[in-house]
Amino acid sequence: MKEKNEQTPRVYFDHNATTYMRKEIIELMMPYFGEKYGNPSSLHFFGQEGRAALDKARAQVAALIGADPEEILFTSGGTESDNLAIQGTVRKNRDRVKRPHIITSSIEHPAVLRTCQALEKEGSEVTYLPCDRQGIVDIRRLEEIIRPETVLVSLMLANNETGVIQPVEDAARITRKLGVPLHVDGIQGVGKIPVDVSALGVDMLSISPHKFYGPKGVGALYRKRGTGLAAVYSGGHHEVGLRPGTENVPAIVGFGEACRITALRLEQEMKQIGDLRDRLEKGIRERVEDILLNGAGKRRVPNTCCVTVRRIEGEALVLNLSVLGFAISSGSACASGESRPSHVLIAMGLDPVDAQSTLRISLGIGNTVGDVEAFLEVLPEVVQRLRKLSPI
């Protein structure tokens, strides 16, 4: 088998982990690392220059999701946005509810799951909705489990492992009727599919631009006007008192530009990436036996393929493909130095062996037909060789 060398192409198929930044975004950010360095809270010229940049970016983020600029709170990233929505809601309701009740699902990102688990230890109660074999959360149970102590429902828009889009609109109809706020982790959806917060009916939505060619270390929480929320930690008056700390102006400028560009190019890029993903999955079906395409029968973001290659350790396949120049990720997650099956795939009903034999291939705008064909050329040989060696 050909080993990776200087001539081997490096193909990035891990865009759900992060994306590169568009060059025009980097160029726009650069002055804010240098001559435009004012603190946006300062009243003098330098500060007001920073404030104007924040205001412009806030409007750009809001425009991408159909919100008003004053409904956008800037944070350090998607994880903080999720924490602010969930912990902030619980804090806001502590005087009203002795034991706050939260509803989420079994397939959420750790930013939501671990936040809910931490709140359980502090006295909150959490109900975890199950999902079906295709990775769709069972919303039918939602109305019957909401009760007077329920302070929040938190669900993801699109799953980070399977790409499956969740029935958020159905959940919103129930939560609106019963007067319970709905938070949506939109981190794997915004920038990949059209998102309109009014059409979805959500009260809060988390966003992270490094999933759609913007900078890392910055995020936002959409909070519908009138939605009750308390700050998670103490400090200054920044972000209407809900997220203290001087704003990361360069990153926020890049965030806003990522939203502006995405709004212009989303339809075209969705088709481009979706066609590549379909070509990839068709090729895998035709060339590799004994596989599962998880979530393929449901609505998905157009860039994500979650494939179980049975009788092979997923990490071994990832490492072998990396040697050949292809960057993908495994469906298994590591915790405390111990390899464990993905909680998402286990919740979907896969057995632990199949869950650990799963790959996530996530495409981006820089990928080409040539990348996909090169991958399909080497994949069968790698699979065949590893199956001969595998103890599974």
- Rounded CA-CA distance 214/212 in Å is 6
CATH number of the domain at 23-262, please? Answer: 3.40.640.10
What tokens does 313 get?
């350790």
Of 182 and 237, the structure prediction assigns the larger pLDDT to 182
What integer best gives the mean pLDDT of the chain?
94
Q: So what's the pLDDT on residue 4?
A: 47
> Using 50, 70 and 90 to split pLDDT, how confident is the model at 9?
confident
- Rounded CA-CA distance 126/366 in Å is 41
- Rounded CA-CA distance 145/229 in Å is 23
Dump pLDDT digits (tens) for 151-178: 999 999 999 999 999 999 999 999 999 9
Name the CATH code of domain 11-20+266-389 (choices 3.30.1130.10, 3.30.2350.10, 3.40.920.10, 3.90.1150.10): 3.90.1150.10
Dump pLDDT digits (tens) for 341-389: 999 999 999 999 999 999 999 999 999 999 999 999 999 999 999 999 8
Instruction: Determine which one of 116, 305, 306, 334 is catalytic.
Output: 334
pLDDT score of 339 more than 90: no
259 is catalytic: no
> Using 50, 70 and 90 to split pLDDT, how confident is the model at 392?
low
> Using 50, 70 and 90 to split pLDDT, how confident is the model at 278?
very high
What tokens does 370 get?
């040539």
What average pLDDT does range 290-308 have in this prediction? 96
Dump pLDDT digits (tens) for 57-112: 999 999 999 999 999 999 999 999 999 999 999 999 998 999 999 999 999 999 99
What average pLDDT does range 230-239 have in this prediction? 90
- Give bridge partners of residue 362 from the DSSP assignment: 14, 304
Q: Where are the domains of the chain?
A: 11-20+266-389, 23-262
Q: So what's the pLDDT on residue 387?
A: 94
Assess whether the region 11-20+266-389 and the region 23-262 belong to the same CATH fold: no
pLDDT score of 1 more than 50: no
Share of the chain above pLDDT 90, in %: 90
Q: So what's the pLDDT on residue 334?
A: 39
Q: So what's the pLDDT on residue 391?
A: 72
Instruction: Give the count of beta carbons closer than 10 Å to the beta carbon of residue 132.
Output: 13
- Rounded CA-CA distance 268/262 in Å is 10
Measured between alpha carbons, how far is residue 334 from residues 158, 315, 321, 338 in Å? 22, 11, 19, 6
Residue closest to 363 by CA, chosen among 240, 272, 245? 272
pLDDT score of 6 more than 60: no
- Rounded CA-CA distance 298/126 in Å is 27
Whether 221 and 73 have beta carbons less than 8 Å apart is answered as: yes
- Rounded CA-CA distance 306/317 in Å is 14
- Rounded CA-CA distance 336/313 in Å is 19
pLDDT score of 7 more than 80: no
- Rounded CA-CA distance 84/388 in Å is 49
Whether 149 and 180 have beta carbons less than 8 Å apart is answered as: no
- Rounded CA-CA distance 289/285 in Å is 7
Residue closest to 224 by CA, chosen among 65, 115, 374, 372? 65
Residue type, 254: G
